[in-house]
Chains A and B, each alone.
Chain A
């Protein structure tokens, strides 16, 4: 990491879906770079130990990104406690595959409410807090699938393509308020999300990665931390892949 250890000193960050995987790795890395991190998850009490381990004033804020009132409450808490927000990482997301003929309306709504509307709601409140502080950085976690597609992932892919669309428009809308908005597009990342794949599918997937290994949550966290920092101070409206040369 080229970032100085104190690169994010004094910054307040919020990471949604920070209980595990990319969200957890990102929360840790932001804290290592000096930020005070708010970790978010749905289940009250689930992050207390993690926050203690991360240190540097890390705290938990519990809300479900699909619940607009709860999202608002979460941001009100941050505003009350810290008076500002500098970094928002919209990571909370769900992955459910279904071939199009078997994609129920419930599945569609679940995925969109979490992966897309959740990002918009958090960006809405996040931007308001950032504007007060004179600017900030929003990093949305999209996906390779949202750019290039994949069998069985029309719904998930649509939600992630939506995240990319939101990123591009938010970047333009919020630039005047010095809020940068970027997205990362992870490829195959070795998290719980792919752990459940059948062995043959998993094997095939790994074979499609140029670098021959799945990415780690830390690989993605490094990119997010870079985009969140002043190192990327003139970067906005970008979708950056972190996929080890994946082609599917």
Chain B
């Protein structure tokens, strides 16, 4: 399974098939600010990075997260 999809699914406590590239922050009850910070922690642990605040704010969709991670040389 795609690593990023796996991490997002785990953080939002959703089945992986529900995680699409278009899925947006705050568009579903499962992806609220609390889940967002859990997702940040999972991503940081999985990729060994520390996200910048602007990037945490900018993680508005799964596709956007993928784009942001590429900046950190984290293959998503």
Contact = CB atoms under 8 A, between A and B. Distances in A.
Contacts of B53: 68, 72, 124
B50 A131 contact: no
A76 interface: yes
Interface in A79-130: 79, 124, 128
A131 B41 contact: yes
Contacts, number: 15
A128 to B, nearest CB: 7
A75 interface: yes
B40 interface: yes
| Contact-residue size bin, chain B (C-beta under 8 Å from the other chain) | under 10
Interface in B35-68: 37, 40-41, 50, 52-53
Nearest to A75: B50
- How many residues of A sit at the interface, in one of the four size bands? 10 to 19
A131 to B, nearest CB: 7
A75 B40 CA distance: 15
A128 B40 contact: yes
Nearest to A127: B37
B37 A79 contact: no
B41 A132 contact: yes
Contacts of A76: 50
A72 B37 contact: no
Contact of B37 (A68, A75, A131): A131
A79 B45 CA distance: 11
A138 to B, nearest CB: 16
Interface string B11-47: 0000000000000000000000010010011000000
Interface-central residue, B37, B50, B52, B53, by most chain A CB under 10 Å = B50
A68 B40 CA distance: 19
A124 B52 CA distance: 11
B41 A79 contact: no
A75 B49 CA distance: 12
Nearest to A173: B33
A176 B33 CA distance: 13
Contact of A79 (B34, B40, B50, B52): B50
Contacts of A75: 50
Nearest to A77: B50
A124 B40 CA distance: 13
B48 to A, nearest CB: 9
A68 B41 CA distance: 20
B50 A72 contact: yes
15 contacts: A68-B53, A72-B50, A72-B52, A72-B53, A75-B50, A76-B50, A79-B50, A124-B53, A128-B37, A128-B40, A128-B41, A131-B37, A131-B41, A132-B41, A176-B34
Given A72-B53, A128-B37, A132-B41, 12 more contacts: A68-B53, A72-B50, A72-B52, A75-B50, A76-B50, A79-B50, A124-B53, A128-B40, A128-B41, A131-B37, A131-B41, A176-B34
> Which 6 pairs from chain A and chain B are nearest by CB?
A76-B50, A132-B41, A79-B50, A124-B53, A72-B52, A131-B41
